[in-house]
Amino acid sequence: MNRISSRREKLRHNFKSDDLQGLLVSSATNVAYLTGFTGDSSVLLVSRERELMISDGRFTTQIEQECPGLEAYIRPSTQTLNQAIAHVAGSLGVERLGFEAAILSVADFQTIREAVAGVTLVPTTDRVELLRQIKDEQEIEATREAIAFAEKAFQMLRPELREGASEKEIADLLEANLRRCGATGSSFPPIVAVGSRAALPHARPTETSRIGDDHFVLLDWGATGRPYKSDLTRVVVTGKVTSEFETIYRTVLLAQERAIAAIRPGVRAHDVDAEARSVIEQAGFGRFFDHGVGHGLGMEIHESPRLRKQSETILQPGMIVTVEPGIYLPDWGGIRIEDDVLVTSDGCEVLTHLARTLDSVRL
């Protein structure tokens, strides 16, 4: 059994303990995780005895190449994907078939339900997502690589942060740099926010705000590698470091350091969030930090576990999370510092290496 097929075995093992006879996996990311398939328009049906990819003729060869040994049902062009799912589920004799409630649309659910007699469709959540939380060595390596792409792209960008360049020009350059550095692309559209625009945690780069309009710029970007993702945020001062900037920056940095120091196996996700939050609250900025301190990172840019107030998730070795506290003052701007952290067997390892001290933020 290889590392990919062992994931399907784990999934199957998990639903043996409840009353499902199979699971329909329709999230493209989950299908890719469980099979190695990089195409689309295909689903995976895992029953207690069998596992079948349901796809169409465009992907016959690709499935053979990317998923050796995996059984495939190639639907004829006269059959829709939903009809094919109903056909396969019916022929496998599965009575209770789980589906991914967060993924399958209501319309698809109704079509499949009507097309298949004798099969009860049972909503499930996070069956594959929970497996994806724990990364193996190759996934960790792929994340390191995606981080290296992002860090190199940022270093290449720094000399371009010249007065007069618009946020959009910088974001476009950053995306081009990511590809030049080896990434397949951005892991999400980069955020480039000058001064007060950075008060919006998810500001869209504009053509009207320009470097130099205010004394700093916030950049939040990441790379998609093979196919793991990275996610970083840095603030660059293009003018003078004001005392207000210094106070807020130091607070965010301390909050981040405290949160990272708390990361180790056995700790609850909300406790990591609380570490950062208490620093920001004690500095009097509590109400200006209203998002979780971090999120899981992997094949998707936001995945489990979430590091936020109510999250009871217990950290385990192999999890990769971002740590990204921020303070956002309306009209003034926002500061966020974001790094990617691996939970190890006895603590954690910060995978990102770009400097983040106050001295390093000056252009």
Site string for Zn ion, 153-172 (x = CB under 5 A): --------------------
Q: Does 300 bind Zn ion (CB under 5 A)?
A: no
Select the residue interacting with Zn ion from 322, 325, 335, 352 (CB under 5 A): 322
Closer CB to Zn ion, residue 168 or residue 291?
291
**Least CB distance to Zn ion at residue 118 (A):** 45
Q: How many residues bind Zn ion (CB under 5 A)?
A: 4
> By CB under 5 A, is residue 151 in contact with Zn ion?
no
Quick one: 275 or 340, whose CB is closer to Zn ion? 340
Stretch that binds Zn ion, among 75-83, 117-125, 200-208, 321-329 (CB under 5 A): 321-329
Q: Would you say 30 or 187 has its CB closer to Zn ion?
A: 187
Nearest approach in angstroms of CB 307 to Zn ion is 10
Pairing type for strands 339-343 and 320-323 reads antiparallel
Using the contact rule CB under 5 A, the part of the chain among 10-18, 154-162, 226-234, 276-284 near Zn ion is: 226-234
* Dist. CA 307–CA 37, nearest whole Å: 30
Question: What is the chain's Cα-based Rg?
Answer: 23
Minimum Å distance from CB 59 to Zn ion?
Answer: 32
Closest alpha carbon to 216 in 358, 335, 329, 339: 335
Q: Least distance in Å: CB of 336 to Zn ion?
A: 8
303 lies in the site for Zn ion, by CB under 5 A? no
**212: buried, middle or exposed (CB in 10 Å: 19+, 13-18, 0-12)?**
middle
Q: Is 231 in the site for Zn ion (CB under 5 A)?
A: yes
Q: How far apart are CA 124 and CA 99, in angstroms?
A: 6
Which of 124, 102, 108 has its CA nearest to residue 46?
Answer: 124
Q: Give the binding range for Zn ion (CB under 5 A) out of 169-177, 195-203, 230-238, 276-284.
A: 230-238
- b/e map 126-137, b = 16+ CB within 10 Å: ebbbebbbebee
Q: Is 220 near Zn ion (CB under 5 A)?
A: yes
User: Which part of the chain contacts Zn ion (CB under 5 A), choosing from 129-137, 196-204, 217-225, 244-252?
Assistant: 217-225
Nearer Cβ to Zn ion, position 116 or 293?
Answer: 293
Q: Do the bridges between strand 120-124 and strand 96-100 make them parallel or antiparallel, or are there none, so unpaired? A: parallel
Q: Which is nearer to Zn ion, 75 or 356 (CB)?
A: 356
Please give the full DSSP string across 130-180, using - where no structure is assigned: HHHTS--HHHHHHHHHHHHHHHHHHHHHGGG--TT-BHHHHHHHHHHHHHH
Residue among 182, 259, 166, 169 nearest 224 (CA): 182
Q: Which stretch binds Zn ion (CB under 5 A): 268-276, 283-291, 319-327, 343-351?
A: 319-327
Question: Which residues contribute to the site for Zn ion (CB under 5 A)?
Answer: 220, 231, 322, 338
